[in-house]
Amino acid sequence: MEVTREALDDFRVRQLKARDMLRGDLEGEELERYVEQSVLTTTLDKAVKWARGNSFFPLTFGLACCAIEMMAIVGARMDIARFGWEAFRASPRQADLIILSGRVSIKMAPVIRRIYDQMLDPKWAISMGACCSSMGVFNNYALVPADKFMPIDVHVPGCPPRPEALMHGVLRLRDKVMGNESAGWRDRYAAYGTEEILGETSGESAAINVYQPGDTAGA
């Protein structure tokens, strides 16, 4: 149902490889690799990702006001069980998604890091709300943005984000896990070419909306 979009040149390369194979021009190692890629591994990989994306076990981790909206998403109106995510686990050992819902104070940050470390791979993190994504309404001494101490996959803006907004974030994460990352608004508005690609700088992005290859481009 999602429109999958792989990068254009990848498609072109595959097209050429397919043409070569049909012509009988691919041989040896190249041929083996082509067969591997297209037949089994891709399918198994995709199946595993599909299973993962549809059966997240979120951690019951409510910090502040966003937690109430997270509870609302569990409620009957915006039902997260539609996507198979209703099994909120209390123990981090059993969970694979941590939804940081609320403001992260400096006293809580090491606790969250410990909990995140206790989760088993593969694990994801959604930073829900403005307070943990950036500093939110309160830009002061007591808060830490979550990006400073743990890797976050999806940031959901809002204060607090409506359950629909969190649902959107949840679906984006699901897309990311299933390998169907879309380029977000750049896709919808065909705005390719507006990304700022910082060559080979370190992972630290200097500006907020910088597209690093292999990254959900800040959408």
Partner 1 sequence: MAVSDGTTPPQDQLSDYRRREQSITISHEASQGDERHELLTLNIGPHHPATHGVLRLLATLEGEVVRDIMPIIGYVHTGIEKTAEDKSYWKVIPVVERMDYLAYYFNAMAFCGAVETLMGVDVPPRAQYLRVIHLELNRIMSHLVWLGTSALDLGAVSMFWYCFRERETILDLFEMSSGQRMHTRYIQVGGVFEDIPTGFAARLRAFLKEMPVRADQYADLLEKNQIVVERLRGTGIVDQPTLLELGVTGPLLRATGNPWDLRKAQPYSSYDHFDFRIPVGAVGDNYDRFRVRHAEMYESVKIIEQALEGLPEGPFITPDRKIALPPRHELATSMEALIHHFKLVTEGFRVPPGEAYYPLESPRGELGCFVRSDGSAKPARVHMRDPSFHNLQALAPMVRDGYIADLIATLAMLDPILGGIDR
Partner 2 sequence: MPDATGLELTAQELREAVPDSILDTEFHRGRAALVADPGKTHAVLERLRANGYTFLASLHGVDYYPEEPRLGVIYELLDMERVDRISVKARLATSEARIKSVVDIWVGANHPEREVYDMFGVVFEDHPDLRRILMPEDYEGYPQRRDFPVGGEPVLFTFNEEQSYGKWQ
Exposed, middle or buried, 108 (CB in 10 Å: 0-12/13-18/19+)?
Answer: middle
* Contact track, partner 2, 108-147, x by CB under 8 A: --------------------------xx--xxxxxx-x-x
* Contact track, partner 2, 13-52, x by CB under 8 A: ----------------------------------------
Q: Does residue 72 bind partner 1 (CB under 8 A)?
A: yes
Enter the tokens of residue 95: 């969970």
In angstroms and rounded to an integer, the radius of gyration of the C-alpha atoms of the chain is: 20
Q: Does residue 206 bind partner 2 (CB under 8 A)?
A: yes
The residue from 31, 52, 105, 134 that contacts partner 1 (CB under 8 A) is 105
Which amino acid is residue 172, in one-letter code?
A: R
Q: Binding-site residue total for partner 2 (CB under 8 A)?
A: 24
Q: Does residue 145 bind partner 1 (CB under 8 A)?
A: no
Exposed, middle or buried, 52 (CB in 10 Å: 0-12/13-18/19+)?
Answer: middle
Strand, helix or coil at 128?
A: strand
**Of the ranges 7-15, 68-76, 158-166, 201-209, which one interacts with partner 2 (CB under 8 A)?**
201-209
Alpha-carbon span 126 to 122, nearest angstrom = 14
Long-range contacts formed by 138-144: CB under 8 A, 24+ apart: 138/103, 141/106, 142/105, 142/106, 143/103, 143/104, 143/105, 143/106, 144/104, 144/105, 144/106, 144/109
Q: Is the CB of 141 or the CB of 189 nearer to partner 1? A: 141
Q: Is the CB of 75 or the CB of 151 nearer to partner 1? A: 75
CB of 208 to partner 2, least distance (A): 6
Q: Which of 106, 118, 105 is nearest to 59 (CA)?
A: 118
Looking at the chain, how many residues does it have? Answer: 219
The residue from 56, 61, 85, 211 that contacts partner 1 (CB under 8 A) is 61
Name the site residues for partner 2 (rule: CB under 8 A): 106-107, 134-135, 138-143, 145, 147-152, 202-208
Name the site residues for partner 1 (rule: CB under 8 A): 60-65, 67-69, 71-72, 74-77, 90, 92, 102-103, 105, 107-108, 111, 115, 131, 137-143, 159-160, 162
